[in-house]
Structure 1
Amino acid sequence: MGPEGKTLLNIIILGFGFMFMFTAFQTCGNIEQTVIKSFNSTEFHGSGYTSMAIIYGVFSASNLIAPSVVAVIGPQLSMFFSGLVYSGYIAMFIHPFTWSFYTASVVVGIAAAILWTAQGNLLTINSTDATIGRNSGIFWALLQFSLFFGNMYIYFAWHGHVHISDNDRQTVFISLTVISLVGSFLFFLIQKPEPEATPSEASESLLQTESTESASIVKALQLSVTKEMLLLSISIAYTGLELTFYSGVYGTCIGAMTQFGDDAKSLIGLSGIFIGLGEILGGGVFGMLNKCNRFGRNPVVLLGLITHFVAFYLIFLNIASDAPIAPEEGTHLQAYITPRYTVALLCSFLLGLGDSCFNTQLLSIVGFMFREDSASAFAVFKFVQSITAALAFFYSNYLLLHWQLLIMVVVGFLGTLSFFVAEWVVVSSRRDTDFDSI
């Protein structure tokens, strides 16, 4: 197999490893608040929302140390050990204790930063300028399929279950732990794309990496206060808020709707599948549109905003206001219309589609604007997104559904306007460059 074939195989293995790991972890995030409410135990007083807030808060702060860890032990071992931590977090639900739940949340936050830094590093060293777009697309597609398989399993495993028993919970989380471990061990199949450096070269490159690390932190801080990044940060903050909503809160709301009958809990899995459909369709279509980007990025972002506003309005009508914080037996409050699970699943699809509109265009504009400092720019991107996701998971413990939707409507509207201005800056600078070159 030639070098090109070997690097492509590495990307495919990387994608499958992440698909297995996130089949387990995203399914865990989708169902954990519902599971915790069903877990009647005097010694356990945890909240799935608070756990996710801790994970994203620690994740954002750990982005500062993650590159040093990857430089010291290499991307392959970084991903393997991070994967083991993810598996440990999932396994903890087999019999949760409050202390183990929150401790695992902190450790997963650190592991997440190391995992994604290593993933970016591995994707880069296995790609050239010509193949980075294709390889990113392959990785994204395989990762998004993780939304299908775990949620499909939940749909069939919990079909007709009004209450999630200890046996139901243990069966699901033992299965998810095994799936996550398979993903971690797949990383060992990734081969080095080029011969290893000699010890002296390796230590020299490590010193360079460490000195660059402190420089990259400074660079990230400088970038975070530039006009362009401040404009984009409102849109990025919005993706953090709606990430929280579709990945943790909305599934909990559906599971709490007693009007959906005995299928309410299994619909959480079906909702995750429809979110995945929206993500994959949007990622595929708008990823390809970037190549023939005649109208710019603004129409795609506007489509994302309209899609989300339609979803939020339908959710407001279809789901009871106390659903995010309802007790284990669910909510008995009446929504504004007779709740229909078909409308709930349509909203899941729209949430996924709108999310992919915003994310594909943000990744595109950040990569274009900060081509020379892409690593620092994406570190700022992840930092802002993680902080707002942590904040949203925290307030999800307390706020009724309509207040959560209102926050997203306001930030989404402001974020879209600021994105339009940022895109206008890009178009203007491109015109100036073209004019100067004439």
Structure 2
Amino acid sequence: MSPEGKSLLNIIVLGIGFMVMFTAFGTCGNIEQTVIKSFNSTEFHGSGYTSMAIIYAVFSTSNLIAPSVIAVVGPQLSLFFSGLVYSAYIAVFIHPYTWSFYTFSVLLGVGAAVLWTAQGSLLTVNSKDSTIGRNSGIFWALMQFSLFFGNLYIYLAWHGKTHITDKDRQTVFITLTVISLVGNFLFFLIQKADPEAASAPTEASESLLPAEISDSSSVAPSQGLGSQALEAFKRSIELAMTKEMLLLSLPFAYSGLELTFYSGVYGTCLGAMTQFGEDAKGLIGLSGILIGVGEIVGGGVFGILDKCNRYGRNPVVFLGLLTHIVAFYLIFLNIASDAPVAPEEGTQMQAFIQPSVAVALICSFLLGFGDSCYNTQLISIVGYLFRDDSAPAFAVFKFVQSIMAAVAFFYSNYLLLHWQLLIMVLLGFMGTITFFMVEWSVIRSRRDSDYGGI
């Protein structure tokens, strides 16, 4: 097999591994607050929102050490061992205790940092400047099939249920634990990339980085493991201070807020809408399916059209913002404002319009599609700008994204829906502007490089 073919196969295997594993974890995150509300036990006093806040808070700080772990262990084993922590967190819900629930929330935060930094590193190593956009789209589309399969199961299992029994919970989470373990072992199918499969950074990408960072190659093999870990940590700090990373921190932050909303808050809102009748709990799964469809459509289209895009990444990011604003406005009209914080019996407040299941599900698709617009382009531009420092660069990306997700999960315990939507609109607008600024500098540098070669 040619080096480029092997690299593409690695991207596909990486995407399928994440798809299987996040079929389990994504479904877990989508339903856990609803499950916890239905769980009556004197041994358990936990909140799904609080758990997710802990996960993302630890995730954010752990991103600073994740490159050091990957430098020592390697990206493939990093994926496997961090994936095992995901499986353990899911298994906690088979019979939850408060101490185990929050302990594994902390451990999962560490595992998530290692997992996503390793993913970004493998994606970059197996891509060239000409294929990074395509590969980002392929990976994203494959991974987002997880939302389809997991939530289809929830919809079929919980359709017509108004209360989740202990047997319902145990059946679901035993199944999800087994699925996640299968995904972990798929990571061993990823092959070592051939050196010639990835090209050196282009002049355009090098010109955007400070000399001390763009010239830094991989740590010399002769250095000890401690030196490699320290060097990886130092690079993360250096990259975080570059102009490009500072500008990209706003779209990174927005991606964290909207990740929180579509992965945890919106499903909880639908399950709390008594106006949807007995189908309200089942809508959590159906909504997750349509979020996944939106993610798959967006990732697939932007991956296929990447080589045909003459205007850079900005139009795709703008489309993502526009899609999300439409979705947020419809959700504002269609869902009661206290739905995120309503008790198990649901909200009694009225929305601005007669609540519509069709509108709610259209918004689910729009949330997924807009998220794919943002994330495929963020992965693409980080991989392009920081090819030689992919692990530290993606660690910074995930640091900002996850700390904002932690903040969002924390305030989701208290803020009404319209305030959450307003925060996302404001940060999304500012983040789009700063992304434009970075992408314009990329396009400008490409043109200067082309003229210099004439």
Between the aligned partners of 1:250 and 1:27, the Cα distance in structure 2 is: 13
Q: 1:236: Cα distance to partner? A: 1.3
CA distance 1:404–1:157, shift in 2 (3 Å) = same
Between the aligned partners of 2:312 and 2:139, the Cα distance in structure 1 is: 24
Between the aligned partners of 2:450 and 2:126, the Cα distance in structure 1 is: 33
CA contact (8 A) 2:140 2:376 kept: no
Match of 1:398 among 377, 397, 414: 414
Between the aligned partners of 1:418 and 1:120, the Cα distance in structure 2 is: 22
CA distance 1:309–1:373, shift in 2 (3 Å) = same
* AA matched with 2:58: V
Q: 1:135: Cα distance to partner? A: 5.0
- Name the counterpart of 1:272: 288
What is the correspondence of 1:148-167 to structure 2 with a 5 Å cutoff? 148-167=148-167
Q: 1:326: Cα distance to partner? A: 0.4
What is the correspondence of 1:215-364 to structure 2 with a 5 Å cutoff? 215-364=231-380
Greater Cα shift, 27-36 or 180-189: 180-189
Greater Cα shift, 86-95 or 128-137: 128-137
1:119-152 deviation digits (Å, cap 9, x = unpaired): 3444456666776665544433321111111000
Unaligned runs of 5+ residues in structure 1 are 195-202
Q: 1:28: Cα distance to partner? A: 0.2
- Name the counterpart of 2:68: 68
Greater Cα shift, 112-121 or 338-347: 112-121
Aligned residues: CA RMSD: 2.6
Q: 1:181: Cα distance to partner? A: 1.5
SS at match of 1:291: helix
Q: 1:82: Cα distance to partner? A: 1.9
Between the aligned partners of 2:256 and 2:241, the Cα distance in structure 1 is: 19
Between the aligned partners of 1:326 and 1:334, the Cα distance in structure 2 is: 13
Equivalent pairs counted in the alignment come to: 431
Match of 2:394 among 378, 393, 399: 378
2:143 equivalent to 1:143: yes
* AA matched with 1:317: L
CA contact (8 A) 2:56 2:109 kept: yes
CA distance 1:105–1:221, shift in 2 (3 Å) = same
Between the aligned partners of 1:125 and 1:424, the Cα distance in structure 2 is: 25
The structure, 1 or 2, with the larger RCO (C-alpha pairs under 8 Å, 6+ apart) is 2
Q: 1:9: Cα distance to partner? A: 5.0
- Name the counterpart of 2:215: none
1:39-75 deviation digits (Å, cap 9, x = unpaired): 1122211111111111111112112322333343443
* AA matched with 2:314: N
1:53-102 deviation digits (Å, cap 9, x = unpaired): 11111112112322333343443433232222111111111111111110
1:213-238 deviation digits (Å, cap 9, x = unpaired): 42333333233233322222111111
CA contact (8 A) 2:288 2:364 kept: yes
CA contact (8 A) 2:251 2:431 kept: yes
Between the aligned partners of 1:185 and 1:433, the Cα distance in structure 2 is: 43
* AA matched with 2:119: Q
SS at match of 2:223: helix
2:433 equivalent to 1:410: no
CA distance 1:283–1:381, shift in 2 (3 Å) = same
- Name the counterpart of 1:200: none
Greater Cα shift, 122-131 or 384-393: 122-131
- Name the counterpart of 2:18: 18
Identity of aligned residues (%): 76
CA contact (8 A) 1:72 1:206 kept: no
CA contact (8 A) 2:141 2:295 kept: no
What is the correspondence of 1:50-69 to structure 2 with a 5 Å cutoff? 50-69=50-69
Between the aligned partners of 2:384 and 2:42, the Cα distance in structure 1 is: 53
SS at match of 1:321: coil
* AA matched with 2:335: I
1:10-47 deviation digits (Å, cap 9, x = unpaired): 54443332222110000000000111111112221111
- Name the counterpart of 1:181: 181
* AA matched with 1:261: G
1:394-417 deviation digits (Å, cap 9, x = unpaired): 111110000000100111111122
- Name the counterpart of 1:49: 49
Unaligned runs of 5+ residues in structure 2 are 195-218
Between the aligned partners of 2:432 and 2:135, the Cα distance in structure 1 is: 29
1:218-271 deviation digits (Å, cap 9, x = unpaired): 333233233322222111111110010001000000010010010100110110
CA distance 1:339–1:428, shift in 2 (3 Å) = same
1:159-197 deviation digits (Å, cap 9, x = unpaired): 000111111111111111111112123334445568xxx
CA distance 1:383–1:172, shift in 2 (3 Å) = same
- Name the counterpart of 1:172: 172
* AA matched with 1:295: Y
Greater Cα shift, 185-194 or 239-248: 185-194
Between the aligned partners of 2:413 and 2:393, the Cα distance in structure 1 is: 31
CA contact (8 A) 1:71 1:206 kept: no
What is the correspondence of 1:119-134 to structure 2 with a 5 Å cutoff? 119-123=119-123
Between the aligned partners of 2:319 and 2:2, the Cα distance in structure 1 is: 42
TM-score normalised by length of structure 1: 0.90
TM-score normalised by length of structure 2: 0.87
Between the aligned partners of 1:429 and 1:190, the Cα distance in structure 2 is: 34
SS at match of 2:337: coil
CA contact (8 A) 1:322 1:400 kept: yes
